[in-house]
């Protein structure tokens, strides 16, 4: 009996500083309903889906920064999304800024959750690969302060049995690091879903937009093929108070082929009926980990963080 999971990537257009969480949640609910009307049972929203991409702003007052965080999930603003999803029997992925009171202290993470079709939170992930910088770059056209506003995720890359398959999560920059997907594939992940906020320009060097979009697709397509898994990436897109984020939300099959992609940089739902068994032949042949991987040759991957070149002669 084939296991299909009709999945939607619910790309979110710009969220401006002046936009309320309630107005954003209303947009998410509209897209959830659209996806459900297309027969979807799982919707992938984006990274930091409730507010503008605030790491682009230099803020010194912690209370100002904390305005962008959620102290509870669901909270008053997000409860309507959970209620509607449960009513429709649709599971979802949601990215948000998490304020966590844990281990006797206050911690802040770039977080995503997986909510099953009964409305229960199945799992949580906290972003491991935080891009950008800690200090203010006054000469830059915008900041990228994820390393300042978030702690490195402390939950690893777990996977969960839910929605008829084995699903994993990651967030944005994580998709550029092959270790992310391999760790989840080694736990049997058949689908990994993620949201992203990717600026249309690079603050470090002049890079054409087509190249940035190529790197985005390359990362996700390679991950899908090399691990025999579905990969779904959902953008926050468009100009947020003048700052551009690229779109390119897409659903990638375990073959590495893009089977659906967004056309706009606004709220847009793309859909595909994912056969969760499609990756089986890849995982049984070319990427049969048990048969072909040689971990005795891979030690440096976990023993060494940065590059140590050979000594000069
Ligand atoms: N954004 C970007 C991303 O990884 C980035 C940051 C862009 C890093 C381009 C390197 C190159 O897509 C987030 N939020 O991680």
The 10s digit of each residue's pLDDT in 144-178 is 999 999 999 999 999 999 999 999 999 999 999 99
- Cα distances (Å, whole numbers) of residue 209 to 44, 73, 140, 213, 214: 24, 35, 18, 6, 9
Residue numbers annotated as active site? 47, 127, 172
What is the whole-number distance in angstroms between the Cα of residue 131 and the centre of ligand 1?
6
pLDDT for 1: 82
pLDDT for 206: 86
Q: Which helix (H) or strand (E) holds 210?
A: helix 209-227
pLDDT for 202: 86
Give the closest residue (by CA) to ligand 1 atom 1.
198
pTM, two decimals, is 0.98
**Nearest atom (ligand 1) to Cα of 53:** 14
pLDDT per position in the chain (313 positions), as tens? 889 999 999 999 999 999 999 999 999 999 999 999 999 999 999 999 999 999 999 999 999 999 999 999 999 999 999 999 999 999 999 999 999 999 999 999 999 999 999 999 999 999 999 999 999 999 999 999 999 999 999 999 999 999 999 999 999 999 999 999 999 999 999 999 999 999 999 888 889 999 999 999 999 999 999 999 999 999 999 999 999 999 999 999 999 999 999 999 999 999 999 999 999 999 999 999 999 999 999 999 999 999 999 999 9
Average pLDDT of the chain is: 98
**Nearest atom (ligand 1) to Cα of 196:** 14
Sign of CA dihedral 92, 125, 70, 59: negative
What architecture is the 4-303 domain classified under in CATH? 4-Layer Sandwich (3.60)
pLDDT for 276: 98
What is the whole-number distance in angstroms between the Cα of residue 313 and the centre of ligand 1?
37
Counting Cα atoms < 13 Å in the Cβ hemisphere of 254 gives 21
Pocket of ligand 1 (CB under 6 A): 131, 172-173, 176, 196-198
The ranges assigned to domains in the chain are: 4-303
What is the whole-number distance in angstroms between the Cα of residue 247 and the centre of ligand 1?
13
The tokens for 158 are 């777990």
What is the whole-number distance in angstroms between the Cα of residue 198 and the centre of ligand 1?
5
**Nearest atom (ligand 1) to Cα of 172:** 15
**Nearest atom (ligand 1) to Cα of 127:** 15
| Of 164, 188, 162, the residue nearest 4 (C-alpha) | 164
Give the closest residue (by CA) to ligand 1 atom 2.
198
Predicted confidence (pLDDT) per residue in 178-215, tens digit:
999 999 999 999 999 999 999 999 888 889 999 999 99
């Amino acid at each position: 009996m084939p296991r299909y999971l009709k999945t939607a990537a619910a790309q979110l257009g710009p969220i401006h500083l002046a936009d309320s969480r309630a107005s954003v949640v209303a947009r998410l609910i509209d897209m959830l309903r659209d996806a459900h009307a297309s027969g979807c049972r799982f919707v992938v929203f984006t990274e930091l889906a409730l507010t503008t991409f605030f790491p682009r702003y230099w803020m010194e007052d912690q209370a100002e920064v904390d305005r962008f965080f959620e102290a509870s999930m669901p909270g008053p603003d997000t409860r309507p999304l959970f209620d509607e999803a449960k009513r429709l029997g649709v599971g979802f992925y949601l990215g948000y800024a998490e304020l966590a009171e844990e281990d006797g202290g206050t911690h802040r993470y770039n977080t995503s959750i997986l909510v099953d079709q009964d409305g229960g939170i199945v799992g949580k992930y906290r972003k491991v690969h935080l891009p950008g910088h800690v200090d203010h770059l006054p000469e830059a056209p915008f900041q990228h302060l994820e390393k300042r506003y978030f702690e490195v995720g402390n939950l690893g890359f777990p996977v969960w049995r839910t929605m008829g398959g084995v699903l994993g999560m990651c967030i944005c920059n994580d998709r550029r690091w092959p270790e992310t997907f391999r760790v989840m594939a080694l736990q049997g992940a058949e689908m990994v879903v993620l949201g992203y906020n990717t600026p249309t320009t690079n603050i470090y060097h002049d890079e054409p937009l087509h190249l940035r979009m190529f790197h985005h697709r390359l990362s996700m397509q390679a991950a899908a093929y090399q691990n025999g898994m579905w990969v779904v990436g959902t953008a926050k897109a468009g100009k947020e108070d003048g700052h551009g984020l690229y779109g390119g939300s897409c659903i990638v099959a375990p073959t590495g082929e893009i089977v659906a992609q967004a056309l706009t940089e606004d709220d847009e739902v793309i859909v595909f009926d994912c056969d969760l068994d499609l990756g089986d032949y890849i995982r049984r042949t070319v990427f049969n980990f048990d048969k072909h991987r040689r971990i005795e040759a891979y030690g440096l991957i976990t023993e060494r963080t940065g590059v140590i070149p050979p000594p000069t002669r």
